[in-house]
Amino acid sequence: MRIAVATDHAGLAYGGLYQELKDFAQTLGHEIVDFGPENLDMDDDYPDFVFPAARAVAHGDCQTGIIMGGSGQGEAMAANRVKGVRCTLFYGLAVAKEPVDAEGHMSDDPYEILRLSRQHNHANMLSLSARFLDKDELKRAIEVWLATPYSDAERHARRVRKLDEET
């Protein structure tokens, strides 16, 4: 799978997490298309890197995208402004109040929210937080998210169509 990746300065500044993201995705057998930045510049603007990555996903040049920022929130907001992108945000482990997985089974997996984003919402981009994830959490998040297929159940497909139709 071709994966568009991009970050802001935080992804480069926090413990090499951006490089870790790229290296790990490659070890899983994916091709990385890097939209930058190449160098650390604390004054860079994440939309300059996220928009091209999101457009690559929306236009089908990449099958999916993984972006990173300090919190990941601004990056997700930027990506979601591109029509056809459905970017989810993951900034840390979370367990639901009533631990139930996507199929209604009991689950206390702190990565279940990532599965739901793929299965139910057909997320095609993932935004990660450099400030809130360590290397192991980052790798597990990428692994879970990429391995989870979309459920094309009618109710999910109907909702995703409505998301993609909005201008």
pLDDT in tens, 61-99: 999 999 999 999 999 999 999 999 999 999 887 666 665
Q: Which of 20, 75, 112, 137 is catalytic?
A: 75
**Partner residues linked to 127 by β-bridges:** 67, 89
Share of the chain above pLDDT 90, in %: 58
Any idea which residue has 């070890």 for tokens?
27
Q: Based on the residue annotation, tell me whether 38 is a catalytic residue of this protein.
A: no
pLDDT mean over 106-132: 86
> Is the Cβ–Cβ distance between 87 and 53 less than 8 Å?
no
Distances (CA, A) of 35 to 3, 18, 78, 85: 10, 12, 14, 16
pLDDT at site 64: 98
> Is the Cβ–Cβ distance between 63 and 2 less than 8 Å?
yes
- Lowest mean pLDDT, pick from 12-16, 40-44, 117-121, 155-159: 155-159
- Residue that wins the pLDDT comparison between 19 and 165: 19
Share of the chain above pLDDT 70, in %: 87
pLDDT at site 100: 61
* Superfamily of chain region 2-92+123-150: Sugar-phosphate isomerase, RpiB/LacA/LacB (3.40.1400.10)
The per-residue pLDDT for range 7-42, each reduced to its tens digit, is: 998 888 877 899 999 999 999 999 999 998 888 888
Q: Based on the residue annotation, tell me whether 166 is a catalytic residue of this protein.
A: no
**Mean pLDDT, the chain, integer:** 88
